[in-house]
A and B are shown apart, each in its own frame.
Chain A
Amino acid sequence: MSVLMPGRGLADATMIAAIVIFATAGDVFIASAMRGIGDLDDIKAARGLGGAALAVLGSGRFVSGVFFMALSFFSLLFALSHADLSLVAPASASLTFVTNAIAAKIFLKENVDRRRWIAAVFVCAGVALLAR
């Protein structure tokens, strides 16, 4: 158990923080790319499926987002080889909902009203309970 070993708590927290920060950066970059590209259904109707795929893959922000998602995935793999699955998986999955709400408000200028804050906190707690 990580709580019984002094110094392990900080290492676990650092690994979880890395997963969460990379995952949030990935989501924000990808969301920003998709907002910039516009409604994919319209693009597909105008330029076909290949045109829509090209529009997505040609976006620098999309590629950056995928890069950060990959970093998050490898941080998760690294953390899983050093810490308990029952700690890392629920903690990182649930915290991402709250950090995404904060990042979306700051970087994407999304209208995160009280309803969305409550939803983010509820889902965060729910995922933490469900994923144990």
Chain B
Amino acid sequence: MLGVVAVTAPLGDTLLSVGMKRVGPVPLDHLSTLIYALRTPQILVGIALLICFFASYLASLSWADLTFVLPATSIGNVIVALLAKFWLHEQISPGRWIGILLITAGVGFVTQGPSYTEMVKECPVSGAEVRPS
């Protein structure tokens, strides 16, 4: 689930960016161009990926903490940078390699720990503290 969040968000953004560059600048008095943009295949696939992203993001937040999900899924930025290098043969500058290392280290840190903060609830019958499973 977290993998789907990590991959679909940056890939969807990238496809939208590629698609909109193909469409060109949209002037404010010709907003109908945006309808035309919906016929670009990259934009359609980008939107579909972003819908998948949002659904998996919501599902992840239903069983994990925000401070777990956000850093853990930032590995997607690294995946996209590496895809750009090995698939599109883009150059990665030393500064970007350091960024890739930092994100990977951060994801490593957070995924070593617990994913969910259990909220301590008062038991309504006995008044004893119980932890929800």
A120–B67 CB distance below 8 A: yes
Please indicate which of the listed interface residues A37, A56, A109, A122 has the most CB atoms of chain B within 10 Å of its own CB: A122
- Residue of A at shortest CB range from B1? A41
Q: Which of chain B's residues have a CB closer than 8 A to the CB of A34?
A: 58, 61-62
Least Cβ distance of B109 to chain A in Å? 4
Q: Which of chain A's residues have a CB closer than 8 A to the CB of B109?
A: 115-116, 118-119, 122
A131 to B112, CA, bound (A): 26
Question: Would A129 and B106 be within 8 Å (CB), given that A110-B65, A115-B112, A116-B68 are in contact?
Answer: no
- Chain B: residues with CB nearer than 8 A to chain A? 58-59, 61-63, 65-68, 70-71, 74, 77-78, 81, 95-96, 98-107, 109-110, 112-114, 117, 119
Q: Which of chain A's residues have a CB closer than 8 A to the CB of B96?
A: 129-130, 132
- Residue of A at shortest CB range from B94? A129
Query: Count of A residues near B, CB < 8 Å?
Result: 39
- Residue of B at shortest CB range from A28? B66
Q: Which of chain A's residues have a CB closer than 8 A to the CB of B101?
A: 126
Q: Which of chain B's residues have a CB closer than 8 A to the CB of A110?
A: 65-67, 117
B103–A31 CB distance below 8 A: no
Q: Which of chain B's residues have a CB closer than 8 A to the CB of A116?
A: 67-68, 71, 109-110, 113
A126–B117 CB distance below 8 A: no
A6 to B97, CA, bound (A): 33
Q: 5 more A-B contacts (CB under 8 A) besides A109-B117, A111-B114?
A: A34-B58, A100-B70, A129-B95, A130-B77, A130-B81
